[in-house]
Amino acid sequence: MAEGDLHRRLLPFVAFQGAVSTLIGFGGLLVFVQDGALATVHYAVSLLTATVIAITVPYLLGRWMPMQVRLVVRLCFAIPAALLWWADGRPVLLAVACGGFLGASWSARLWLELSLLQDAQRDAYATRMTVWTVLSSLLATLLVSAALSVAHEAAFAVYASYALIAALAVFLAPRALPSVPPMRLRDPASVLRQPAYVQSLPLYFLESGLMGVGMVINASGAVQALGRASHYGWAVSAATVVGALSLYAVRTRRHGGNRVRWMGVACLGMVAGQSLLAASVWLPLLYVPHVLLLACAQPFWQASEQVLNQRALDLHGDLADRIVVREWTLWLFRCTALLAFWWLVQGWSATQQLVLGVALMALATVLEWMLARRWLYAT
């Protein structure tokens, strides 16, 4: 399928996915405000676990019944639409709602993209879809921030807003999706035995091994610098505008020949933005340039990572097997890194925890770029 046609067909799904995904940041912040850092760690582990289970279940069920991707897309939005009404003050339920949505939505999206995209199409597609993801996330963040302000910081306003967006997506997101074969798990053990899978492990760890740490650290930094959830929403909204404009301006300039250069520039922006997060502990005003810089760099970084993810999945074996093995590998890295980090920083102040977490994330970003550069130059 032509990249432009695929982009148009997947646009409603990906746009709603981007909008609802902004709940993750709000959810971590609200849990931190209500129950503290330890509850945020429990929330992150529960969310990561719910995500990998939700990714696996459609493929696993496909061994006994045809799992159509349109059904999975409807279900991924139905989960938060149904559960978020009762999520206030219940971090585990919130984690199940968020993780169920993330897992099922990425299960369907990976199946669609890897079934229909060729390597030469990936850069243009990733950039164009990231533009629309950023725009939809901006609209969602503005809506939720306004609801928070009107509701005097009541967490229920956040959850109700996202439940309504997800309910709308149940009907609109899958309408234009192209036809692909049913999702089905066959022989994941065959992927584990491949040398190429073992060679991908360092990339998997650097890409998202610190995802759980980042969730806790970002919530901690926002609370220490801003104090209120609505302030976080307005800051992120303003930053997203800047990021969307910069990404839109260069949406047609990425291609297979300049992947490494784009990722290098994004790496510099990511590291600088992460450094400003640590500095905002002592000078809260730096939180605003932190989110502005990260909003400019992160879309380019994510587009580069999307290409890398698809390249890392270019292994032998059934597509569903490759996806499931990758996601369980990421889950193991994420949870192990988060629990190890939390064990290490016991007795540390919130500032010390934040600085160490930021240093680890910046180091992982640089190492990932170095590894990705070698991968992309070699292929």
Would you say residue 124 has pLDDT above 80? no
Give residue-wise pLDDT tens across range 300-352. 777 677 766 666 666 666 778 888 888 898 889 888 888 888 888 888 887 88
3-state helix, strand, coil in the chain (%, to 5): 85, 0, 15
Strand boundaries in the chain, DSSP class E: none
Q: What is the pLDDT of residue 348?
A: 84
d(CA 289, CA 303): 22
Contact 20, 144 (CB under 8 A): no
Q: What is the pLDDT of residue 170?
A: 95
Q: What is the mean pLDDT of the chain?
A: 81
Query: What value does the mean pLDDT take over residues 361-378?
Result: 78
Contact 212, 146 (CB under 8 A): no
Which among 215, 286, 237 is positioned nearest to 29, based on CA atoms? 215
Give residue-wise pLDDT tens across range 234-260. 666 666 666 666 666 655 555 555 567
Would you say residue 49 has pLDDT above 90? yes
Q: What is the pLDDT of residue 76?
A: 95
d(CA 45, CA 220): 16
Query: What value does the mean pLDDT take over residues 30-40?
Result: 80
Lowest mean pLDDT segment, chosen from 64-78, 157-171, 177-191, 275-289: 275-289
Burial class (CB in 10 A: 0-12, 13-18, 19+), 218: buried
Lowest mean pLDDT segment, chosen from 12-16, 21-25, 234-238: 234-238
Q: Which residue has the higher pLDDT, 332 or 283?
A: 332
d(CA 120, CA 255): 8
- This prediction has a pTM of 0.78
Query: What value does the mean pLDDT take over residues 97-113?
Result: 91
What is the b/e burial string over 161-184, where b = at least 16 CB atoms within 10 angstroms of the residue's CB? Answer: bbbebbeebbeebbeebeebeebb
Q: Which two tokens stand for residue 307?
A: 């290409």
Banded pLDDT at 34 (limits 50, 70, 90): confident
Would you say residue 3 has pLDDT above 80? no
Q: 3-class DSSP state for residue 67?
A: strand
